[in-house]
A and B are shown apart, each in its own frame.
Chain A
Amino acid sequence: MYNENFIKDIGTKIIGYSKAQQTEVFIYGNLSSLSRFSENEITQNVTQEDINISVRVIHNNRIGKATTNRIDDPSLKQLASNAFEIALFQKEDKLITPLPGHQEYEEIKDAYDKETADYSAMDRAKAIKSVTDECEKQEINAAGIFSNNTAYICLMNSKGLYAYNKFTGAEFSITATKNKRAGWAEKIAKKVKDINTLDIANIAIKKSINGQNPSDIEPGKYTVVLEPAAVTDFMSYLGFLGFGALSHIEKRSFFSDKIGEKVFSDNITISDDAYYPISQGIPFDFEGMPRKRITLIENGVLKGIVYDLKTAKIAGTESTGHGLPQPNEYGPMPLNLVLKQGNATIQEMIESTKRGLLITHFHYTNVLNPKEMILTGMTRDGVFLIENGEVKNPINNMRFTESIPNIFNNVEMVGKKAILQSSFFGDGFVIPGLKVNNFTFTSKTDF
């Protein structure tokens, strides 16, 4: 993997080659390894190394952009001239925001861990083998992944901005299946040593064993105790649909013109915080602006949204450091959501429930109606009936159709333990479990 000086040199060269008035270079590189197992053996095992160099130029209020993975000098020269040529063809854009100059960034603690970077295929295989041996002993089929990766992001421009961040990450997830009944568990962390694969596997194994002989219940409204992974999908779509400035400016968000209004239950506080200890955030956004901590929802009241340079200019405010690679059609997005912990354990949520469902996570959640933020998705890998404060028998999977505002307005309890969960966008969100009332299931399955 290339070191920081080498990467910086590439960026400096490109800026030198560029004939444009303003030039920005974005370099992303990674060394990622992932072992995948199913039926208690490793079936796929990959190591990928790559570099991606993107140049964005602004010339006479026109934008151009080009990308390559070639690092030889002629290719870098060609890259700079390709981006410039593209800009010459564009229409003038008066709203274009100039590239920012030098910025100061906060440090992300423990972003890089050498042990994680050096973790080998054999290290992963040994860890997987101890898990699959255990599963075989219990007549369980295990499928899952164990991955570790190192990546860097470098952003620099002709106005003196320089941002570099190198980080590691690891992930273990497992689906344990016995007689077609599955249990699932996952852990993601910056350091591979924080992942105890056998502990995680045991959670999945237990869910699979407890999931035997399910019964059917009818769809309808239920109280649900959601483990953190089950809350992730709602947080992801909430972040995607609700907190970006562009959808507010265009008045197509459920939250448009509602800043200062009570939108969720009192016990809901949500922020975007790349610096939260277990977050895997980056201290700058894709325009090089420092990523700020932003309170989005405080005790149920909509407090703020996130901005990039362009939406900040339109709205007459400052960037919060949440820009995506420019230009893009999505506008700014929060990538490091944190749902503030409450004071209940999952066990206490169960004990306080007369009749309800305990849910591990959801599958293939998607938006039915973006304005109302109505989602649909399936339960997966462990649904259990709760009766009179106790977990009873497993239940066949069901489909929910419910709106995000309904969900977060019916939160009775918030978990005291928040964990980092992978999310369909962003760098993983920090999420506790929730107890939610009046949650709507609309159809069922026979498994």
Chain B
Amino acid sequence: MRKFTDLALNTAKNLGASYCDIRIINTEYENIKTRNGEIGSIDKSETMGYGIRVVIDGAWGFASSSLITKEGIENTTKKAVDTGKASALTIRNRVKLAPEPVYKDKWTTPYIIDPFKIELKDKLNLLYAADEILRKDKRIIIATGNLSFLREHQWFANTEGSFIEQILLRSGAGISATAIGDDVQIRSYPTSFGGQYMSMGYEMVESLKLLDNAERVRDEAIALTTADQCPPGKKDLILGTGQLGLQIHESVGHATELDRVLGMEANYAGTSFATIEKLNNFKYGANIVNLVADSTIPGGLATIGYDDDGVRAQRWHIVKNGILSGYSTSRELAHTIRENRSRGSNRADGYNNIPIIRITNLSLVPGDWTLDDLISDTEDGIYMDTNRSWSIDQRRLNFQFGTEIAWEIRNGKKGRMLRNANYQGITPEFWNSCDAICDEKHWQLIGVPNCGKGQPGQRAEMSHGCSPTRFKNITIGVGQKGNTSEQV
């Protein structure tokens, strides 16, 4: 690989680039979905390609290709340089990269069982066995099973002398049942939209015990079709991890991506209310709210050795004791908040995209409640879990989320199941209403495998650790049938 990376770096230098990096990536991907006892979809792919990024005349250029030959690399480098020269026509600020040590290193995701070595037959048999349990009742109209595995073998080299090889591996698995009755309702396990994803091997799939949970998933889906609608009103809200993970993602993670904060995403994903003058003084949440970004946590989908700027993985506070304390940054933007080193959150989707700032693993530090005590302590509340729908505004303030399932809590007791539950809030008000966080025994990482951002669109993966958490006096049941106009 050195031969190819050196060729790109030297070509770029000869063409006048002041900085160049190349990432060569070999990707193995396997995704199997079953749907009602048949193959829902099957994707088994192997790709290889590279992206070359240059700074020339103070501006960025980038080109990617899958042609790994001398000629291919030279042409692609030249394209990157031409693109950079065009960018230079408009720039007002020259690109300034925060310093980072030079690394020569190899980093690999720790795992026990290589999922690509498990026979397809065994994987299918697991999904078909779950399908059989899920569809034992005629009211289940759709049963799905999902297994997904991704290995990225990356070689990164830059003109500063770093050469980093990484092998990143992750696994995903989940099941769902959709029941029809008075309504159509879905229930998933362990989480929605494909299930749990972690940077682990096939041991993660085994640990999930899909078959042991299939019956409950089926019965809850059926029960939901006749459950009462979640009533409108204001109540204390306890979020389970299957919803809280996404709440962290949308209302804290994206809001503290420095490129968004600075307006670089203004035309697409949006900007942020958490602007830089608020750093170290804005009350983001209650004092008990601590949110930590961590690219080193075992099992996290964004757990890496180095980001795609070649910056070593780090751990830092985004919110500390309720105060906004940090952002996700890159080498290019670190200086805008007077930091002299990047946090290492610049990541690209595959070889054919540029790195952009991405949420890394971002987790809510556990508190000291048990879930039983938290429920006993709640007089008039609702427990919601497993995300079904999400929407948040372009500055990450006004959000509205729907969940698969909810239960009423009355006088400290978990009562009737409720369907079509949702809640709405404004980010800082919501996090400031947080008054109880469960302890580390209830804490788990929730993987987000489908975070979209950027133009051209890029997908990224990250995890959010959390435990069930209570928020006081939250608006719930928005837009319930017949109540639309009253819910303001």
Contacts and interface: CB of A to CB of B under 8 A. Distances in A.
Interface of A: 32-52, 63-70, 82, 85-86, 89-91, 93, 95, 120-122, 124-126, 128-129, 132, 141, 143-145, 147, 173-175, 177, 182, 184, 218-221, 250-252, 327-329, 363-372, 374, 376-378, 380, 397, 399, 401-402, 440, 442-447
Given A368-B389, A377-B391, A443-B424, A401 B183 contact: no
Contact of B393 (A70, A372, A378, A401): A378
B124 A43 contact: no
B41 to A, nearest CB: 5
Contact of A48 (B33, B64, B93, B426): B64
Greatest chain A CB density within 10 A among B268, B393, B424, B488 is at: B393
A399 B142 contact: no
B48 interface: yes
Contact of A184 (B82, B183, B267): B267
7 contacts: A38-B267, A45-B84, A95-B38, A220-B488, A250-B141, A329-B40, A399-B424
B455 A48 contact: no
B466 interface: no
B41 A329 contact: yes
A173 B33 contact: no
Q: How large is the interface on B (under 10, 10 to 19, 20 to 34, 35 or more residues)?
A: 35 or more
B267 A124 contact: no
B392 A364 contact: yes
A443 B420 contact: no
Given A364-B392, A372-B481, A45 B267 contact: no
A218 B487 CA distance: 11
Interface stretch (B54-62, B313-321, B337-345, B375-383): B54-62
Nearest to B40: A329
Contacts of B90: 37, 40-42, 125, 128-129, 132
Given A46-B83, A401-B478, 11 more contacts: A38-B264, A44-B62, A45-B60, A45-B61, A70-B48, A86-B44, A121-B82, A363-B394, A366-B390, A401-B484, A402-B479
Contacts, number: 271
Which 5 pairs between the two chains have the least Cβ-Cβ distance?
Answer: A401-B479, A67-B45, A121-B86, A143-B266, A125-B86
B293 to A, nearest CB: 23
Contact of B263 (A128, A143, A218, A445): A143
A315 B416 CA distance: 40
Nearest to B65: A49
A184 B58 CA distance: 29
Contact of A329 (B33, B89, B91, B391): B33
A45 B86 contact: yes
A143 B38 contact: no
A39 B92 contact: yes
Contacts of A399: 391, 393, 398, 400, 424
B41 A327 contact: yes
A145 B121 CA distance: 46
Contacts of B14: none
B400 A34 contact: no
A42 B479 CA distance: 42
Contacts of B262: 38-39
B402 A368 contact: yes
Contacts of A49: 63-67, 76
Contact of A46 (B40, B354, B426, B479): B354
Nearest to B402: A368
Given A177-B263, A402-B479, A445-B398, A44 B424 contact: no
Interface string B266-281: 1110100100000000
A143 B65 CA distance: 27
Nearest to B475: A443
